[in-house]
Amino acid sequence: MTLQRRQFGFNALAVLGAALVPSGLPAFAKSGFEVLLAQNAPAKLNPAPYLISEKLDGVRAVWDGTSLRFRSGRPIVAPAWFIAGLPSTALDGELWIGRGKFDQVSAAVRKTQPVDAQWQQITYMVFELPQGEGVFADRAQRLKLIVQGLNLAHVQAVEQFRLPNQAVLQARLNSVTAAGGEGLMLHQSQALYTTGRSDALLKLKPVQDAEAQVVGYTPGRGKYDGMLGALQVKTEAGLRFNLGTGLSDELRKTPPPLGSTVTYSYRDITPSGKPRFASFLRVADEP
């Protein structure tokens, strides 16, 4: 099969197999900013030790006290009015428009020239004080007071609440997802501030998700002849598999570059450790 490089934006040699992937690829992509990342919640979880919030389908954004950045550390070009009233205190949160509107907010915040009309729809939903002192319950209360003091309509503290048992937790999850939400986040109320992927923070969704690094490409066949068939990806634990389900025709023509991080959904894990029914969701916040 002859692949025409002009058809899409990746090196055609790369689709011939992982053996042709440059050996100098960086390790699994890590954020430029050390932030807390969630683990998937186990089955039959007791929610009592946690503060719980809705999982927002937005773009992760860290305010470092002077500038707004993706978790990769790359600056987010926001309008001057959007960041003018933000504090010198560092904040962590999501740029969010509403349930089911990730593509809309993602397109807005990645522009090199911000469009005011788009940013007017965005709210900075903050949920953490990076490197803050005390346990999360204390930090959440302090964060709420900071946001109240800002008195900015486009900056809101994410609501944190408690639930008494697993049955009520499941009922709340069902209610949120039925209304178009993604799921729930559970943060151990007595956890000190930490970074990296940790069970101090859990995500609870009907379908689980995870991240992997793009390490190669598989050529398409049939109707995808001349395009990408699947992404070859590697998880943080070093597991490799092909990810083809969920890719749009646009992504098959212009795939994420080698080394970028993608998010995929899955139902459960096979005996060999691979995700079952893995499906591409999106390119992660920033490669």
21 plus 69 within the same structural domain: no
**How much is the average pLDDT of 99-106?**
91
The span from the first CA to the last CA of the chain, in angstroms, equals 30
d(CA 221, CA 124): 43
**How much is the average pLDDT of 98-113?**
93
Tally of structural domains, the chain: 2
Residues 6+ apart with CB under 8 A from 287: 29, 72, 256, 257, 259, 260, 261
| pLDDT tens figures, 70-84 | 988 899 999 999 999
48 plus 189 within the same structural domain: yes
225 plus 176 within the same structural domain: no
d(CA 2, CA 283): 27
Question: Is 101 a catalytic site residue?
Answer: no
Give residue 19's pLDDT band: very low, low, confident or very high (50, 70, 90). Answer: very low
| pLDDT tens figures, 133-186 | 999 999 999 999 999 999 999 999 999 999 999 999 999 999 999 999 989 999
| pLDDT tens figures, 193-250 | 999 989 999 999 887 888 999 999 999 988 888 899 999 999 988 899 999 999 999 8
255 plus 277 within the same structural domain: yes
Residue 232 lies in a domain: yes
**Catalytic: which of 55, 101, 205, 274?**
55
Tokens coding 38: 């969630």
Hey, what amino acid is at 5? Answer: R
Contact 177, 206 (CB under 8 A): yes
Is 16 a residue whose pLDDT tops 50?
Answer: no
**How much is the average pLDDT of 16-30?**
35
pLDDT of residue 208: 80
